[in-house]
């Protein structure tokens, strides 16, 4: 009887994706080593801090599912944040500033999409180029300085609460819900699976592969513009190096979450767990006073461990 | 008897630069019939079907639907008349489920704007699957399905678009016997429902068991349209190749077997075979027969060193080998794999590049690639094997199946191999090219090489091989000497009693 139960347990463990195992293990380790980890305040803190990354990781999942990549998303976040800050400081209108950030995201997304879909430039090269452009523009516009003087109304978006829940978490939850609906309940989402899995099938069905690809990258740009609002609010300023390396975290979270880089095999919930795993890791290492440079190495190790676990399961 | 055909093509001509692909071809298809389209590779079958489904525009010719003249300029026009092609390379998306694949591009709208009605997609898919008698949950993702099941999904997809004319291009090429039976049962059901099927095949047995009518193409022209009862396999082959070909290829006299080239003793491996014993001598072609899945390919890969073994030994010309494919290749062993597209060829590279690939070490001992020397070596092989390509620079993907197979063989000729394993060397190639491949094999053994040949077609084993081993469930269950080698004996050994 007991052996039977045991085997039942092992069977279900074999089905648990690597990201869940990694997340539980991380929580267990940090819960035991740092007393401040498993407190409601810290958990709320982890989730709040993960929201910006989630806003980037959601479209990154969609992009990677099309066998694409967006390296420019971190630099785009920075540039959109700077445009937002400069606009709000000069015009005094938060709404206009937010629209400006979205417009920047849209334009860069459209640029990425057109270069990739119409001119057939590989996503890696295209977005490496736009990464450079967005990062360079950020430095040019600000002369390397921070943009300060952000009004309280914007700052409140990050620090405020509604019904006791931090606003960024509500925004991120909405973004997740929207992306979920988009991916699993719309034509666009269905075609995302086909873009990565079998583009010929789309062509035969009379769907424009180019049009769909462009939309995918525009979605990425818009989400980066949206994330810029949260980041500007969080920092209460805009800084030309604030988003450097965010594309690394986003790609890592997607990979940890079990989305494959081939054949349109993606899992949105996995990305959510991957983002939280990266957030837990960063938070736990902060509590243990590990310098942030070493944290990057830990995230790299996290990716490899999670994929290793998934690989072991796949071999059976 | 005047039956108005469901669809008719009349006087179709199509030219490509330098090639007359179709020359005044007429073709008709009636509701509820299976119309076999046969011919050698390059006879124009695929071109004709591409004209029918709107992928190509004919230079001349007209179309009639139920006797009325119509035009087909693109694929959507063809779809309007219910013409659908079941592609050889499937058009399925692996991580969408069966239902989503069936209705890809034609999703039902949900109640909220912009959303799709997944439930309706599933119920409609179930209805279509029931229609063809395919009992499966439409929520299963396609990536977990076998080839035959994927093909059924393709057919369901076509029928859901109200297809009344289905074009199937060698649908059984990658199916097991059981799966083939299922497909044939489904074809019978489709016929009852009045669906017309155009069936391209290289397998003569299918042509006669399945076909209601047969049309033969050769060099872009229609040679004949006839009923299966009016002809024999031999006559059909003669029509296809334009000259009498002995389908029962007779084995020329072989040299007396020389030294032992390969000796395998008690070989077992994790791929599911055990206690394999076999020998192949120089100057011999030895068959390895048995049903698909009996472990033939696994044994071949293990002998070559491509897969791990757990017990036993392999000796090549007396020397013990084992370990790596690289080592085997260096010692003069060549494996010509079953799936030339994924395992034997770099499809996007040129014919020349592919030919020199296996002989790089020998051709360029210093390690530097010299293009002129590679070209020269490639040209020699192209001439020797009579590979139909204007230049060695042509991408291999543009050649016909038979010529691609010759490139794979040429690749190893260049490496001076002395022991060859051929895994299904004639799969998917036409009768004329088959005979040429066999002549090639014969030439190899006459020059002192030894060959182990795997084939699912017993008739080939009987006609080509000097001896044969028969496998069943991962074991060798018998060896047939020259005078015991008959189809009946192979089948008797290969099938469970």
The three-state (H, E, C) secondary structure of chain B, written as one string: CCCCCCEEEEEEEEEECCEEEEEEEEEEECCCCEEEEECCCCCCHHHHHHHHCCCCCCCEEEEEECCEEECCCCHHHHHHCCEEEECCCCCCCCCCEHHHHHCCCCCCECCCCCEECHHHHHHHHHHHHHHCCCCCCCCCEHHHCCHHHHHHHHHHHHHHCCCCEEEEECCCCCCCHHHHHHHHHHHHHHHHCCCEEEEECCCHHHHHHHCCEEEEEECCEEEEEECHHHCCHHHHHHHHHCCCCCCCCCCCCCCCCCCEEEEEEEEEECCCEEEEEEEEECCCEEEEEECCCCCHHHHHHHHHCCCCCCEEEEEECCEEECCCHHHHHHCCEEEECCCHHHHHCCCCCEHHHHHHHCCHHHHCCCCCCCHHHHHHHHHHHHHHHCCCCCCCCCEHHHCCHHHHHHHHHHHHHCCCCCEEEEECCCCCCCHHHHHHHHHHHHHHHHCCCEEEEECCCHHHHHHHCCEEEEEECCEEEEEECHHHCCHHHHHHHHCCC
**Do B110 and A185 make contact, defined as CB atoms within 8 angstroms?**
yes
Question: In this predicted structure, what is the pLDDT of residue A313?
Answer: 64
**Do B95 and A266 make contact, defined as CB atoms within 8 angstroms?**
yes
Question: pLDDT tens for residues B9-54?
Answer: 999 998 877 677 888 999 999 999 999 998 876 678 888 888 888 8
Residues of chain A with pLDDT under 50: 1-12, 316
Q: Which domains does chain B have, with CATH numbers?
A: 7-241 (3.40.50.300), 260-494 (3.40.50.300)
Question: In this predicted structure, what is the pLDDT of residue A212?
Answer: 95
- Partners of B199 in beta bridges: B36, B168
**Do B94 and A202 make contact, defined as CB atoms within 8 angstroms?**
no
Q: Is B123 on the interface with A (CB under 8 A)?
A: no
Highest mean pLDDT among A22-31, B109-118, B286-295: A22-31
Reported as type and span, the H/E element at residue A60 is helix A40-65
Residue B472 reports pLDDT greater than 60:
yes
Could you report the predicted ipTM of this complex, rounded to two decimals?
0.83
Long-range (24+ apart) CB contacts under 8 A made by A200-208 are: A200/B89, A200/B91, A201/B91, A201/B92, A201/B93, A201/B101, A201/B104, A202/B104, A202/B105, A204/B75, A204/B87, A204/B91, A205/B91, A205/B104, A205/B105, A205/B106, A206/B75, A206/B76, A206/B105, A207/B105
**Do A186 and B95 make contact, defined as CB atoms within 8 angstroms?**
no
Chain A: closest CA distance from residue B95 (Å):
6
- CB-CB neighbours of A110 under 10 Å: 16
Chain A: closest CA distance from residue B217 (Å):
27
**Do B94 and A204 make contact, defined as CB atoms within 8 angstroms?**
no
Residue B429 reports pLDDT greater than 70:
yes
> B123: which 2 tokens?
């119920």
Residue B3 reports pLDDT greater than 90:
no
Question: In this predicted structure, what is the pLDDT of residue B339?
Answer: 72
Which residues are CB-neighbours of A312 under 8 A, at least 6 positions away? Answer: none
**Do A200 and B89 make contact, defined as CB atoms within 8 angstroms?**
yes
Comparing CB atoms, the residue among B76, B92, B107 nearest residue A190 is: B107
Task: Report CA-CA distances (Å) from A223 to A54, A150, A171, A226.
Answer: 10, 21, 12, 5
Kindly indicate the confidence band of residue B2, based on its pLDDT and cuts at 50, 70 and 90: low
- Asked if residue B254 lies in contact with residue B262, where contact means CB atoms within 8 angstroms, the answer is no
Alpha-carbon gap, residue A277 to A302, rounded angstroms = 9
- Partners of B273 in beta bridges: B269
Comparing CB atoms, the residue among A181, A202, A263 nearest residue B94 is: A263
Helix A73-91, helix A246-256: angle, nearest 10: 130
Alpha-carbon gap, residue B264 to B266, rounded angstroms = 7
Alpha-carbon gap, residue B221 to B44, rounded angstroms = 8
Question: In this predicted structure, what is the pLDDT of residue A316?
Answer: 43
Highest mean pLDDT among A13-17, A50-54, B410-414, B489-493: A50-54
- Asked if residue B44 lies in contact with residue B22, where contact means CB atoms within 8 angstroms, the answer is yes
* Best residue of B105, B118, B157 to probe chain A, by most A CBs closer than 10 Å: B105
Which residues are CB-neighbours of A222 under 8 A, at least 6 positions away? Answer: A59, A102, A105, A106, A109
Which residues are CB-neighbours of B433 under 8 A, at least 6 positions away? Answer: B40, B41, B400, B401, B402, B403, B405, B426
Alpha-carbon gap, residue B79 to A211, rounded angstroms = 23
| Contact residues, chain B, for A181 at CB < 8 Å | 115
pTM reported for the whole predicted model: 0.71
> B163: which 2 tokens?
């297809």
Question: In this predicted structure, what is the pLDDT of residue A10?
Answer: 45
Residue B325 reports pLDDT greater than 60:
yes
Which residue in chain A has the smallest CA separation from B91?
Answer: A201
Q: Is A206 on the interface with B (CB under 8 A)?
A: yes
What is chain B's length? 497
Residue B423 reports pLDDT greater than 80:
yes
Q: Is A34 on the interface with B (CB under 8 A)?
A: no
For the ranges A4-8, A234-238, B56-60, B152-156, the lowest mean pLDDT is seen at A4-8
Q: Is A314 on the interface with B (CB under 8 A)?
A: no
Q: Is A197 on the interface with B (CB under 8 A)?
A: yes
Helix A40-65, helix A73-91: angle, nearest 10: 110
Residue B427 reports pLDDT greater than 80:
no
Dmax (CA) for chain B in angstroms is 79
In degrees, to the nearest 5, what angle opens at C-alpha A173 toward C-alphas A168 and A177?
150
Task: Look over chain B and give the mean of its residue pLDDT values, rounded to a whole number.
Answer: 84
Residue range B118-125: mean pLDDT, rounded: 92
Question: In this predicted structure, what is the pLDDT of residue A17?
Answer: 79
Look up residue A158 and give its DSSP letter: H
% of chain B with per-residue pLDDT over 70:
94
Alpha-carbon gap, residue B305 to B325, rounded angstroms = 4
Write the burial class of residue A253 (CB in 10 Å: 0-12 exposed, 13-18 middle, 19+ buried): buried
Comparing CB atoms, the residue among A185, A206, A266 nearest residue B115 is: A185
Chain B: closest CA distance from residue A25 (Å):
29
Q: Are strands B213-218 and B221-226 parallel, antiparallel or unpaired?
A: antiparallel
Alpha-carbon gap, residue A97 to A80, rounded angstroms = 10
* Nearest of A242, A248, A210 to residue A228 by alpha carbon: A242
Question: In this predicted structure, what is the pLDDT of residue B326?
Answer: 85
Give chain B's radius of gyration (CA, Å): 25
For the ranges B39-48, B269-278, B472-481, the lowest mean pLDDT is seen at B39-48
Which residue in chain A has the smallest CA separation from B84?
Answer: A204
* Best residue of A182, A203, A205 to probe chain B, by most B CBs closer than 10 Å: A205
């Amino acid at each position: 009887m007991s052996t039977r139960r045991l085997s039942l347990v092992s069977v279900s463990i074999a089905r648990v994706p690597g990201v869940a195992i990694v997340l539980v293990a991380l929580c267990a380790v940090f819960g035991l080593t740092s007393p401040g980890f498993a407190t409601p305040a810290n958990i709320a803190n982890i989730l709040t801090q993960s929201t910006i990354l989630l806003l980037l990781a959601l479209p990154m999942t969609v992009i990677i599912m099309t066998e694409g990549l967006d390296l420019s998303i971190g630099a785009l976040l920075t540039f959109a944040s700077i445009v937002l800050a400069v606009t709000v400081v000069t015009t005094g209108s938060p709404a206009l500033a937010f629209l400006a950030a979205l417009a920047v995201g849209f334009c860069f997304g459209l640029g990425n999409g057109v270069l990739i879909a119409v001119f057939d430039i590989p996503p890696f090269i295209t977005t490496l180029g736009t990464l450079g452009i967005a990062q360079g523009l950020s430095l040019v516009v600000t002369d390397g300085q921070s943009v300060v003087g952000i009004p309280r109304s914007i700052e409140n978006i990050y620090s405020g609460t509604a019904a006791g829940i931090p606003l960024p978490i509500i925004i991120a939850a909405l973004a997740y819900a929207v992306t979920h609906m988009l991916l699993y309940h719309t034509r666009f989402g269905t075609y995302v699976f086909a873009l990565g899995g079998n583009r010929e099938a789309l062509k035969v069905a009379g769907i424009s592969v180019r049009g769909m690809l462009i939309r995918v990258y525009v979605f990425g740009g818009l989400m980066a513009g949206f994330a810029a609002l949260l980041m500007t609010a969080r920092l209460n300023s805009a800084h030309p190096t604030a988003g450097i390396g965010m594309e690394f975290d986003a790609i890592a979270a997607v990979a940890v979450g079990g989305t494959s880089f081939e054949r349109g095999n993606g899992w949105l919930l996995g990305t959510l767990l991957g983002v939280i795993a990266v957030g837990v890791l960063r938070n736990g290492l902060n509590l243990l006073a590990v310098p942030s440079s070493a944290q990057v190495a830990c995230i790299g190790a996290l990716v490899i461990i999670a994929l290793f676990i998934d690989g072991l399961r796949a071999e059976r | 008897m005047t039956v108005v055909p469901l669809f008719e093509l009349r006087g179709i001509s199509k030219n490509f630069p330098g090639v007359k692909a179709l020359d005044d071809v007429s073709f008709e298809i009636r509701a509820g019939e299976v119309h076999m389209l046969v011919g050698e590779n390059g006879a124009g079958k695929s071109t004709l079907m591409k004209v029918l489904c709107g992928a190509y525009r004919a230079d001349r010719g007209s179309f009639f639907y139920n006797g009325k003249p119509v035009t087909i300029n693109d694929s959507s026009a063809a779809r309007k008349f219910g013409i659908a092609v079941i592609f050889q390379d499937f058009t399925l998306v692996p991580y969408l489920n069966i239902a989503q694949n069936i209705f890809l591009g034609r999703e039902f709208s949900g109640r909220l704007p912009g959303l799709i009605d997944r439930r309706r997609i599933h119920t409609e898919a179930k209805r279509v699957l029931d229609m063809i008698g395919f009992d499966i949950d439409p929520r299963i993702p396609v990536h977990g399905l076998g080839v035959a099941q994927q093909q059924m999904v393709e057919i369901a997809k076509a029928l859901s678009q109200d297809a009344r004319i289905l074009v199937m291009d060698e649908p059984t090429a990658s199916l097991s016997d059981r799966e083939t039976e299922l497909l044939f049962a489904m074809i019978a059901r489709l016929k009852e429902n009045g669906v017309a099927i155009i069936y391209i095949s290289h397998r003569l047995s299918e042509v006669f068991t399945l076909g209601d009518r047969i049309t033969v193409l050769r060099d872009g022209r229609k040679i004949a349209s006839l009923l299966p009862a009016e002809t024999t396999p031999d006559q059909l082959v003669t029509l296809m190749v334009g000259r009498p070909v002995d389908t029962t290829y007779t084995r020329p006299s072989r040299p007396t077997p020389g030294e032992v080239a390969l000796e395998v003793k008690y070989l077992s491996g994790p791929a599911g075979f055990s206690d394999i014993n076999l020998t192949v001598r120089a100057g011999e072609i030895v068959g390895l027969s048995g049903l698909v899945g009996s472990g033939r390919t696994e044994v071949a890969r293990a002998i070559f060193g491509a897969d791990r073994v757990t017990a036993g030994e392999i000796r090549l010309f007396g020397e013990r080998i084992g370990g790596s494919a690289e080592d085997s290749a260096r010692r003069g062993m060549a494996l010509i794999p079953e799936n030339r597209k994924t395992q034997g060829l770099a499809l996007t590279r040129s014919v020349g590049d592919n030919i020199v690939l296996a002989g790089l070490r020998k051709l360029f001992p210093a390690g530097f690639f010299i293009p002129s020397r590679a070209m020269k070596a490639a040209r020699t092989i192209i001439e020797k094997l009579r590979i139909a390509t204007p230049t060695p620079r042509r991408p291999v993907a543009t050649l016909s199946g038979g010529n691609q197979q010759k490139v794979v063989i040429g690749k190893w000729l260049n490496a001076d191999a002395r022991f060859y394993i051929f895994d299904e060397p004639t799969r998917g190639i036409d009768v004329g090219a088959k005979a040429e491949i066999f002549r090639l094999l014969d030439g190899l053994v006459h020059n002192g090489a030894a060959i182990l040949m795997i084939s699912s077609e017993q008739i080939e084993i009987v006609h080509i091989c000097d001896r044969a081993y028969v496998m069943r469930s991962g074991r060798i269950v018998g060896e047939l000497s020259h005078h015991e080698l008959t189809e009946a004996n192979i089948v008797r050994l290969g099938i469970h009693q």
